[in-house]
Amino acid sequence: MSRRSKKNPGYAHQGLENDRLFKVSCGHVPGPDCRGCDTAEEVQRDPRDTTEPEIYYGTIASGNTLAKDAAARDRMVADLGEDCICFEMEASGLMNHFPCLVIRGYATMPILTKTIDGNATLRRPPLVQQQIDRLQQTTVAMKATTDSIKSDLRTHEIKGWLNPADPSTNVNQARKLHYKGTGVWLLDNPVFRSWYSGPLRHIWLHGLAGCGKTVLSTTVLDHLAKANDSPLLNFFFDFKWQDQPKTEALWDIFYNMLRMQKRVSIVLDALDESTSRDDILERIEDIISRPELAHVQLLYTSRPESEFLRRIPTLIGEEGCLPLDEQAIKSDIRLWVSEQLSQRREFTEKPLSWGILEEIRKKVGDGADGMFRWAFCQLDSLARCRHEAAIEEALVSLPKNLNETYERMMKSIPVERKMDAIRLLQFLVHSKRPLTLAEAKEVIATQIENESTGFDIKRRLFSEIDLLDYCPGLATIVHATDKELHLAHFSVKEFLLRDNNFQIKVASISITTTCLTYLTDIKGSHEHTKRQFPMARYASKSVKFFEEEVTFQRWSRLYQADESWDDDPGPPRASKLYYACLNGLLAPAADLINKGENINSQGGGYSSALQAASFHGHHEIVKLLLDNEADVNAQGGRYDNALQAAFLDGDQEIVKLLLDRGADINAQGGEYTNAL
């Protein structure tokens, strides 16, 4: 390292005149060195015998802020109760969540490797040797654990939080709609160029529903990927399976990942479609306020809704707020329509006259008024026309806007399919995840409205594509991990929610009845059920609760929320009341209590209904149980008592409720011994 050459200045001692130490009480005078600092506060030290490097071994403190103030640093050391030799912030908080070894600097790697391998030329104090031996054992154990986890993740559904939605599904779907040459106006915009080159940290792109914001987001992503050798960050969390990590813990790790990069660009599409807008805006504000994340750039899109118009300009400045260029979008739509007419099979295989093609370009391409989604729907409708006269008729009476477009789509559904179509759309509007095509076929095969109520395997559609005939233009097939049925656009959901059939109270009855009917009618062993009835597990998760014992038993073999990583949870380990409280089902829980269900029965991963509800933050259910004389100090299960479970979840309201009802704060037992 110290060898010098023409290309390498080498490393050398900086000279005694530059090696100065000042008292903790002496504040540094700003500047590149200490020439302006008070020499009276300098500590006089004996000169060293050698300028060779010395190695120090000891405790390193890890934190998420830089400790530049010596007095503050010493106070932190005193508070820690450890004699720390230095501070670092590159890996703050990581070891709170999984065992790891932090290596600072790539040059350290070969030295560390030699140490672990036991280089005989190194002399080590006994304590150091013990630590190295432990490190070797930990490294081997961690590798085995990592391999096991990766294997499990490949073959099992471990836990809901380990199976996040795949954002690439939406990106790839939007990318199909991107035509070469469209979106260039955004890349050439001075505001975007300022963001891309660095001075501007945040951009908010806003435009009306259906104007192509998601397609533009993929244009930005592709532009970033083409211009930069973007690294792919791979990481995993070695948590105990039953403990879903706190959101704050995941954010801390995410911030650390961001901080360790030289430059990060993040694209957040459709803020207005989020169910937690306040949380997202607060996170954006948090990133802006952190000096160590000054290299992180964000671009986000949404509609110009009042909440965003109030908060975002104040947050990032007016210069970062970019309304989408309506004229440029109109030009993009015309380009896209022309490309579809010249390449899409439904148009190229029909002997359409030049005149009719020009009419489509004019009425759809020029008539979209900046609404990409409107143009897409009209072109899709025209593609299904069986003859040129039908196209001419459709062009004469094109709908004026998206709502009118969707109204016509609903009216176009044949009467004999209408009830099934509504039910299928109810699932798509209110399900937490999309339906697979196999599940969607089961919904159609399950009747709840007429005399032939029940699931009939003979009603299964032969072709998955036929599902689109039940909701033409309103749904689309997406090729994700499994083929899925999605609503065609977020604006479809907004349109449907205006209809009483899709209000949650009406839709939930329909969805629950369908799931119960399906589960009641399927026959066979547990293995046969999983193999032959693809909606069985989904239905078990979706229904509110089961009244009949036989259905309850079947449900438990398919899904138990406290055993969800197990492919076969087995028979129920607790009462119906326990599972109702675990899943936050207030009305069924109240009904079961009224029917005399034992409120203090033991069983399940959390042992009692009260502990299960406390851990999952179900406030109303906790109050219901306590009002009906649930034992607040009942012991057993994963966390031994309800108070410890509530503490672990960090839910102050439930903690207070339990303490007010006499919970013993000093109770011993469970995974963490006591609540404190």
pLDDT in tens, 423-474: 999 999 988 888 999 999 999 999 987 667 888 899 999 988 899 889 888 9
Establish if 539 belongs to a structural domain: no
Question: Which is higher by pLDDT, 9 or 306?
Answer: 306
Establish if 333 belongs to a structural domain: yes
Pair 594, 650 in one domain: yes
Strands 483-487 and 435-436: antiparallel
pLDDT at 536 over 60: yes
Establish if 180 belongs to a structural domain: yes
pLDDT at 408 over 50: yes
Nearest-5° Cα angle at 656, 642 to 595: 55
> Which of 149-163, 282-296, 589-603 has the weakest average pLDDT?
149-163
Pair 187, 311 in one domain: yes
DSSP label of 233? P
Residue 229 has a pLDDT of 54
> Any idea what the CATH number is for the domain that residue 647 is in?
1.25.40.20
Residue 91 has a pLDDT of 65
What number is the average pLDDT over the span 395-424? Answer: 90
User: Percent of the chain at pLDDT above 90?
Assistant: 13
342, 372, 398: which is the final residue of a domain? 398
Establish if 392 belongs to a structural domain: yes
Pair 676, 594 in one domain: yes
Residue 410: pLDDT band (50, 70, 90) is very high
- Contact of 541 with 561, CB cutoff 8 Å: no
Of 83, 78, 76, 91, nearest in space to 56 by CA? 83
Pair 284, 377 in one domain: no
Provide the domain limits for residue 392. 328-398
Residue 568: pLDDT band (50, 70, 90) is low
Pair 320, 333 in one domain: no
Pair 315, 218 in one domain: yes
Structural domains of the chain, count: 3
356, 378, 398: which is the final residue of a domain? 398
Pair 316, 340 in one domain: no
pLDDT at 235 over 50: no
**DSSP per position, 191-215:** HHHHHHHSS--EEEEE--TTSSHHH
Distance between CA 555 and CA 559 in Å, rounded?
6
> Which of 78-87, 106-115, 579-588 has the weakest average pLDDT?
106-115
Establish if 284 belongs to a structural domain: yes
What number is the average pLDDT over the span 349-375? Answer: 86
Residue 632 burial by Cβ neighbours in a 10 Å radius (0-12, 13-18, 19+): buried
Establish if 71 belongs to a structural domain: no
Residue 659 has a pLDDT of 93
- Start-to-end CA distance of the chain, whole Å, equals 50
Residue 149: pLDDT band (50, 70, 90) is very low
Of 593, 586, 584, 635, nearest in space to 614 by CA? 584
Pair 172, 316 in one domain: yes
What number is the average pLDDT over the span 532-556? Answer: 68
Pair 289, 393 in one domain: no
Establish if 532 belongs to a structural domain: no
Pair 310, 333 in one domain: no
Establish if 592 belongs to a structural domain: yes
Helix, strand, coil abundance in the chain, percent, nearest 5: 50, 5, 40
Pair 175, 319 in one domain: yes
pLDDT in tens, 544-553: 445 566 667 7
Residue 380: Cβ within 10 Å count: 18
Pair 211, 332 in one domain: no
What number is the average pLDDT over the span 114-137? Answer: 46
307, 324, 341: which is the final residue of a domain? 324
Residue 187: pLDDT band (50, 70, 90) is confident
